[in-house]
């Protein structure tokens, strides 16, 4: 029962902090530009306002528009419950297989593009096509990252993979990084995952989450026709997805998972520190880089593909 309780605590803590992490990035970007910026809690306010508003559905849409937001939110919640962010035994630990995670993330992308096409809007169709174009380029890299982690650790479950890395990292530090442990593979995977995180979460330079120009939208074009509670669920799903990728990066950067309640306070503080540091890095990266044209996105995503492929090859060779 203690494991279930701590797993629930981990799940609901990250769920509650998901808009906070997105708000931190947004706030930092505005401060770096010399703007006063929004409140960090603004995304919470927006979400609760949307829940109170009536959802307006296009007469051209079908039942897909009514069920897709629930499915997208549920799938992201499933992945969130699989992650051992700071506690070794997540809520849905038996489902923490790498194949489940890849297919779940793909299912969320499928339904959000299906939702955009169901609206009968030209901009929704444009956003759906661009979303799948980027997904087609990023999914192989994401698969290679998980396969490299599985080969590297000789495990197939996410919880076991990062626990293995945590143990070996501790041994490597104590031995002065002499022995079989190599920091090259996790470092390469971290770079690749950072690039994919920008693409999958519609961040600059791939996309601009703050844009209001329909012709340049990708993710925002998919939910352009959404309103009310449906828009609130889709936006909260985006916050959760961002937290998922940030959590994966934090686990590769420095994995530390508490095994019991006594270790939990330090694990939570370390997790928050890593997440805030990644939010700061993303904000800096987005401020320093302009949004690139869509046909240039494959150049950036190909870098992630090559790095993840090399990391997988090095994992096979046992470097």
Give yes or no for residue 218 having a pLDDT over 50.
yes
Over the stretch 109-135, which tens digit does the pLDDT of each residue have?
999 999 988 888 888 888 888 888 898
Tell me the three state secondary structure of residue 104.
helix
Give yes or no for residue 93 having a pLDDT over 90.
no
CA distances (Å), origin 256, targets 3, 135, 234, 275, 278: 17, 30, 31, 13, 16
* Max CA pair span of the chain: 66
Which tokens go with 41? 């809690």
Higher-confidence position of 239 and 315: 239
Alpha-carbon distance of 57 to 307, in angstroms, equals 43
CA distances (Å), origin 281, targets 28, 198, 248: 10, 12, 15
- The whole-model pTM stands at 0.93
Give yes or no for residue 319 having a pLDDT over 80.
no
Nearest Cα to 283, choosing from 41, 38, 31, 45?
Answer: 31
Alpha-carbon distance of 78 to 81, in angstroms, equals 5
Instruction: Compute the residue count for the chain.
Output: 319
- Mean pLDDT across 213-233: 84
- From start to end of the chain, where are the E strands? none
Over the stretch 266-278, which tens digit does the pLDDT of each residue have?
999 999 999 999 9
Higher-confidence position of 4 and 319: 4
CA distances (Å), origin 243, targets 211, 223, 285: 21, 20, 17
Q: What angle do CA 189, 294, 280 make, to 5 degrees?
A: 45
DSSP percent split of the chain into helix, strand, coil, nearest 5 = 75, 0, 25
* Phi/psi of residue 176, nearest 5 degrees: 70, 30
Over the stretch 253-311, which tens digit does the pLDDT of each residue have?
888 999 888 999 999 999 999 999 999 999 999 999 888 888 888 999 999 999 999 99
Over the stretch 168-201, which tens digit does the pLDDT of each residue have?
766 555 555 454 556 788 889 999 999 999 999 9
Q: Label residue 166 by pLDDT band (50, 70, 90).
A: confident
Q: What is the mean pLDDT of the chain?
A: 88
């Amino acid at each position: 029962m203690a494991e279930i309780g701590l797993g629930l605590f981990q799940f609901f803590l990250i769920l509650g902090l998901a808009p906070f992490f997105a708000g931190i990035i947004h706030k930092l970007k505005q401060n770096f530009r010399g703007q006063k910026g929004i409140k960090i809690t603004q995304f919470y306010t927006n979400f609760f306002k949307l829940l109170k508003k009536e959802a307006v559905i296009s007469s051209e849409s079908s039942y897909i528009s009514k069920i897709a937001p629930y499915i997208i939110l549920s799938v992201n919640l499933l992945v969130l419950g699989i992650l051992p962010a700071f506690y070794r035994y997540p809520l849905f630990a038996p489902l923490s297989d790498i194949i489940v995670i890849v297919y779940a993330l793909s299912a969320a992308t499928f339904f959000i593009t299906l939702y955009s096409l169901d609206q009968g809007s030209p901009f929704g169709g444009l956003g759906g096509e661009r979303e799948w174009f980027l997904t087609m380029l990023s999914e192989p890299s994401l698969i290679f990252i998980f396969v490299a982690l599985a080969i590297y650790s000789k495990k197939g479950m996410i919880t076991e993979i990062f626990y293995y890395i945590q143990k070996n990292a501790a041994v490597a530090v104590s031995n002065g990084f002499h022995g079989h442990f190599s920091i090259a593979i996790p470092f390469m995977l971290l770079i690749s995952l950072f690039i994919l995180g920008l693409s999958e979460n519609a961040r600059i330079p791939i996309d601009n989450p703050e844009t209001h120009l329909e012709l340049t939208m990708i993710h925002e074009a998919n939910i352009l026709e959404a309103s009310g509670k449906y828009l609130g669920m889709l936006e909260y799903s985006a916050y959760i997805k961002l937290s998922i990728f940030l959590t994966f990066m934090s686990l590769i950067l420095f994995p530390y998972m508490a095994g019991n309640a006594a270790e939990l306070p330090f694990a939570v503080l370390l997790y928050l520190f890593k997440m805030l540091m990644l939010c700061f890095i993303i904000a800096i990266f987005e401020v320093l880089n302009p949004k690139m044209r869509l046909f240039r996105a494959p150049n950036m995503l190909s870098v992630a593909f090559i790095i993840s492929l090399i990391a997988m090859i090095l994992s096979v060779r046992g470097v």
